[in-house]
Amino acid sequence: MNTVIIGSGNVAYHLAKAFKERSLPVSLFGRNAGELERISDELDLPFYTELPKADLFLICVSDRAVEEVSLQIPYQDALVAHTSGSLPREALKGSYRKACFYPLQTFSRKQKLNYSEIPIFVDAETPEDANVLKHLASEISGSVMEISFEQRKYLHLTAVFACNFVNHLFARAKEIADAQEIPFRYFLPLIDETVKKIHHANPEDVQTGPAVRNDKTILERHEKLITNTETAKIYDVMNESIRTMYHLE
């Protein structure tokens, strides 16, 4: 199966690299000839600035550009998938078989990734197309799953809690440490260990800290230490949520 990856951003780059590493036939198409040439040179892959024919088109552009790009594909016998976590298949507006091929990872150009560990979620109009995409995805990744658009919404929501909000907690934590001139890097081993733990345990079973210990002395002390309004609200809501989860009084 011949695939064309559309786009020249981070998702396009990493998917192209993953295809190349597995010797899957792939070429690149996009508007940014300079970027395409750079990726094409680095990965030793062909690129086009006029759309070639292919069995599969993977649209790797920002959510708001998907519709416009999707209208440029004239091949009715092609399978076309976007790679967005947030859009339905129907965001694709051309006359062809529509699908979604969503790799769950945060991509930046410079980072090295182990593609076999990146989960890929697929969603297609027919079981046949779903199988084609699942087969292709499993050439790259050891974690492949078919999910509906409805489930994909929850997938995205879960990622917001487990990643976006986690990063924001790090940002608020760093503010507290910075004000005391304690280098934030001193917290990295503890953070690493916190994450290592949930590779083998249910997070609910390994909760630690003053809230789950119901240590009111420390909770009151902490409340007095916090000066930032948003940080104080986070402290209250998180502790309340912990108390509720563990049925504490």
**Number of chain residues interacting with its own copies (CB under 8 A):** 86
Contact flag: residue 20 with its own copies (CB under 8 A): no
Q: Among residues 41, 90, 204, 220, which is the contact residue for its own copies, using CB under 8 A?
A: 204
The answer to whether residue 137 forms part of the interface with its own copies (CB under 8 A) is no
Q: What is the DSSP letter of 162?
A: I
Would you say 2 or 174 has its CB closer to its own copies?
174
| Alpha helices (runs of H) in the chain, residue ranges in sequence order | 10-21, 33-43, 66-70, 127-140, 149-159, 165-179, 188-197, 210-213, 216-225, 229-245
Select the residue interacting with its own copies from 46, 206, 214, 220 (CB under 8 A). 206
- Closest by CA position to 104, among listed 57, 48, 55, 142: 142
Given 44, 109, 161, 247, the residue binding its own copies (CB under 8 A): 161
Check binding of 208 to its own copies (CB under 8 A): yes
- Kindly tell me which residue out of 1, 33, 71, 166 binds its own copies, with binding defined by CB under 8 A: 166
- How many C-beta neighbours within 10 Å does residue 202 have? 9
Q: Which stretch binds its own copies (CB under 8 A): 3-11, 38-46, 69-77, 181-189?
A: 181-189
User: Which residue in this structure is represented by tokens 């750079």?
Assistant: 38
HSE at residue 91, side-chain half, CA atoms within 13 A, is 23
Stretch touching its own copies by CB under 8 A, among 53-61, 73-81, 130-138, 232-240: 232-240
Q: Site for its own copies (CB under 8 A): which residue of 1, 33, 71, 245? A: 245
Q: Is 199 in the site for its own copies (CB under 8 A)?
A: yes
Give the span between the Cα atoms of 238 and 135, in whole angstroms.
41
